[in-house]
Chain A
């Protein structure tokens, strides 16, 4: 890890003295902690901008197919479980709060609270994926699969509904969008656990909380994408 290397070299610089000491976390290419913080945040926002552009391709595909087949989209979306979708929305929104509070605790130097909020956020991420798993299992059982894998079983469709034979394109978009989003949730769990471990090791303080801030930004982005996915996929008409 680069920060560990930087810490070592900062230690050597300290030997020069001159009243200009480096905090352990300050990498040698930066003059001040504030400069390092700003640089990290700009980098993160550039990455988040890239993430939004990346997701926008899927949203445009959604727009094209929905404008071509509005009735099909409406009918196909009736096969999705609104209660599970809404529940997951609430779980993700709540986890965004706990991520924001984890950053706040780090900013105020409350290490125990930071760990606690990170763990709650990770727990919410797991709940989200478990709910998603049950949704996917239902789609697989009902044969509501992408494109030419689409072969609905009448026993498994929502009673009183019908799906058009071209609804495979809806489910292709559904699985791509929620799947890519789900991968982001998985990555989020990974980086949140990483932050929890580093926090437990005492790497963060009120003067240095940048990594937690950046990971929280990423987590909020995952929430942000879901804020659009939920109404667009689950709540059509």
Chain B
């Protein structure tokens, strides 16, 4: 805590070297939260509508709008030193590069590998895109109200 003489000295400077942070009204922050909540409900609602691949796109777009609201207002980037925003943008750019190269490789590697006679799993000869094979039937939930059906496709409990 400052002593009285410090306060007086501070007032002489009258803040030209002080931190000048933008202070948003409480109501504005609450409004941002309300928007975030509505977008959350929206993303839950949209997930019940079957749009195929578009479901993923919509989910990521809504999440990105929410993220933009958080960084812009809750994290003060709108009123902050623009260099901080630059750090974030460059980070996102590199994440984009990371995604683009890896996804391009995983999704299209097989096209080239097949032409070259290459395989993802040389041991088994499985074709790309690789990973692992199905060996068993899916594990099904026990039907409701049926306690005696033999569970041949479930693994032994340990």
Q: Is A123 an interface residue (CB 8 A)?
A: no
* B107 close to A (CB within 8 Å): yes
Q: Which residues of B contact A237 (CB under 8 A)?
A: 47, 50, 55
25 contacts between A and B (CB under 8 A): A33-B18, A42-B84, A45-B84, A49-B91, A56-B99, A59-B99, A64-B102, A68-B106, A82-B44, A86-B44, A107-B21, A108-B23, A153-B157, A154-B140, A157-B142, A207-B10, A220-B70, A227-B63, A227-B67, A230-B40, A231-B60, A232-B63, A235-B44, A236-B55, A236-B56
Interchain CA distance A57-B74 in the complex, whole Å: 25
Taking residues whose C-beta sits less than 8 angstroms from the other chain, chain A's interface range is: 35 or more
A224 pairs with B71, CB closer than 8 A: yes
Chain B residues closer than 8 Å to A231, beta-carbon distance:
43, 47, 59-60, 62-63
Q: Which of A37, A163, A231 has its CB near the most chain B CB atoms (within 10 A)?
A: A231
Q: Mark A155-172, 1 if CB is under 8 A from B, else 0.
A: 101111111111001000
Give a binary string over B59-81; 1 marks a CB under 8 Å from any A CB, 0 the rest.
11011001100110111100011
Q: Report yes or no: B139 in contact with A104, Cβ–Cβ below 8 A.
A: no
Which of B9, B19, B29, B154 is in CB contact (< 8 Å) with A207?
A: B19
**Given pairs A52-B91, A107-B21, A163-B139, 14 additional interface contacts (CB within 8 A):** A32-B17, A63-B103, A64-B106, A68-B129, A93-B33, A93-B37, A157-B139, A160-B144, A163-B138, A165-B139, A166-B132, A231-B63, A237-B47, A237-B50
For the complex, give the distance between the alpha carbons of A202 and B1 in Å: 7
The residue of chain A having its C-beta at the shortest distance from the C-beta of B101 within the complex is: A60
> Which one of B50, B102, B139 has the highest number of Cβ atoms from chain A below 10 Å of its Cβ?
B139
Interface string of A99-125 (1 = CB under 8 A from B): 111001001100000000000000000
Give the total number of A-B pairs whose CB atoms are below 8 A apart: 207
Knowing A42-B83, A46-B87, A231-B47 touch, does A164 contact B141 (C-beta < 8 A)?
no
CB pair B138–A162 under 8 Å, yes or no, is yes
Establish whether residues A45 and B141, one from each chain, have CB atoms under 8 Å apart when the complex forms. Answer: no
B106 → A minimal CB distance (Å): 5
A53 in contact with B95 given A60-B102, A107-B23, A166-B134 (CB within 8 Å): yes
Residues of B close to A161: CB separation below 8 A:
140-141
Which residue, A31, A60, A227, has most C-beta atoms of chain B within 10 A? A227
**Interface flag for A183 (CB, 8 Å):** no
Interface SS of chain B: helix, strand, loop or mixed? helix
- Pair A228/B138 contact, Cβ less than 8 Å: no
Q: B143 at the A/B interface (Cβ < 8 Å)?
A: yes
Chain B CB within 8 A of A48 CB: yes
Encode contact with A along B13-48: 1 for CB under 8 Å, 0 otherwise. Answer: 000011111011010011011001100100110010
Which listed residue (A34, A60, A165) contacts B17, Cβ 8 A?
A34
Question: Which residues of the partner chain B approach A227 to less than 8 Å between Cβ atoms?
Answer: 63, 66-67, 70
Q: Which residue of A lies closest to B33 (CB)?
A: A97
- Chain A residue numbers with a CB within 8 Å of B103 are 60, 63-64, 67
Q: What is the CA–CA distance of A207 and B19 in the complex, to the nearest angstrom?
A: 7
Alpha-carbon distance between A46 and B73 when the two chains are bound, in angstroms: 19
Give every chain A residue within 8 A of B143 (Cβ-Cβ).
Answer: 159
> Within 8 Å of chain B (Cβ to Cβ): is A94?
yes
Across-interface contacts of A75 in B (CB, < 8 A): 138
Partner of B95, one of A41, A52, A207: A52
Q: Which of B124-157 contact A (CB under 8 A)?
A: 129-132, 134-144, 151, 154-155, 157
Which of chain B's residues have a CB closer than 8 A to the CB of A143?
A: 155
Interface pair B47/A90, CB less than 8 Å apart: no
Check if A162 sits within 8 Å of B141, measured CB to CB: yes
Residues in chain B near residue A162, CB distance under 8 A: 138-141
